[in-house]
Every structure is written in structure tokens, then in C-alpha cells.
Amino acid sequence: MLELSEIREDLKEIRYYYSHKDIFEKASKQIGEHSCIAKIVKYNDAIRFAPARLYELYVSLYLENNTLESLADKEGYSYVHIQRVHSQLVKFFQQKLV
């Protein structure tokens, strides 16, 4: 079972990839795919089976590069609520990524 800290680090790397996706895709044609792609595939495969609320949060935070604060403001929820749902997301990954 992955530690929560490992999952959080993986999610940071996934966010970084998606926020710089154009650079990674351009470089992959010359260098080859970055090793983080395997991690992204693993997490994307797992999230497909998550409750819709967690799926949406994953897409908003990691693929669309929103922050917890900006997402809370955009969706009209409190920061604490988004933070709680994010904790559920991390725990979901901990259970699914064995």
C-alpha cells in the first residue's frame, strides 16, 4: 500500500506534467516519453472507478491545474470542504493503488 505522502508527491508530479503538457509532448518526439507518463496512466486508470465527485475533483485539480482555493471559489464551496474532499481523493488512491 502506498503511503499518503507518496500519493501526494505523485499527484504533484501529475499536476506539473499537465501544466507543462505542451513541453512534455514536444520533447517526447525527440527524447521519448517521460517516465511520469506511466504514473499518470496508473492514476487515470484508478480514477475512472471513483465516485463522480472525486473524479471531477481530480480533473479540476490535476488536469486543469486549479488550486484548492481557486476551485472552492469557482464552485462556491468553502476551502475546508474542498480540502476534505481532496483528502477523500488521496485515500481513494491509497485503497485502489495497491
Looking from the CA of 61 toward its CB, the CA atoms found within 13 Å total 23
Low-confidence ranges of the chain (pLDDT < 50): none
Smallest CA-to-CA distance from 47 within 36, 62, 58 is with 58
What local confidence, expressed as pLDDT, does residue 98 receive? 84
Q: Identify which of 14, 17, 37, 11 has the alpha carbon closest to the alpha carbon of residue 90.
A: 11
Q: Are 68 and 61 within 8 A, CB to CB?
A: yes
pLDDT of residue 89: 98
The pLDDT assigned to 1 comes to 84
